[in-house]
Amino acid sequence: MAEKTFYSLPALAYGYKDLEPYISEEQLKIHYEKHHQAYVKGANGILEKLDKARQESTDVDVKSTLKELSFNIGGHLLHSLFWGNLAPAGKQGSLSGALAKAIEAEFGGFERFKKEFTLAAGSVEGSGWAALTYCKLTKRPMIMQIEKHNVNVYPMFRIILVLDVFEHAYYLDYKNDRARFVENFWNIVNWNEAGKRMEDLLG
């Protein structure tokens, strides 16, 4: 039987202090090393459980197991995208190229896009994410409001930009003030990465 592959925590492209003052060293370290690592560990644990059940020809509770697997894989993949679309202030590049054109065509300009994305992030029920995605069928960028890590997801839509609004993303720095965290997010958006994602999906 072929050797199995599992998930791993991706390396950050910046240091723990590099996103200050918008995300503190302590906040980033806990978010990355504790919360994101927990989703990696959770997903891998379930994969190992499934591997063992298949080897031993035993059964698992498929409904609860796959629901938990979806949550943990979603958490891992969304966090991996999130780290990539952050950059130290002054090193984010600028909104340009195909992404800028798509935002202009869909929203009428950056400010309208920023307003809608901010509202989406601020109004996620419970814990979740706001994401800018792209539909290849309609050729339109769309905002997606994800609950938890896996609810209300548009199937097959590629994510260009994503923002974590679980409380664990900001509670040390902002307490319960999600709105201030979301507003400060715009100071550390990696537009170079977001633009690259757009170019990649357009092929």
- For the chain, give percent helix, strand, coil, nearest 5: 50, 15, 35
25-84: CATH topology: Helix Hairpins (1.10.287)
CA distance 130 to 19: 20
pLDDT in tens, 56-108: 999 999 999 999 999 999 999 999 999 999 999 999 999 999 999 999 999 99
Q: What is the domain partition of the chain in residue ranges?
A: 25-84, 97-202
Stretches where the chain sits below pLDDT 70 are 1-2
DSSP strand pairing (128-135 vs 140-147):
antiparallel
How confident is the model at residue 19, as a pLDDT? Answer: 98
How confident is the model at residue 112, as a pLDDT? Answer: 98
- Cβ atoms of residues 134 and 160 within 8 Å: yes
CA distance 78 to 67: 16
Q: What CATH class is the domain 97-202? A: alpha beta
How confident is the model at residue 1, as a pLDDT? Answer: 58
How confident is the model at residue 126, as a pLDDT? Answer: 86
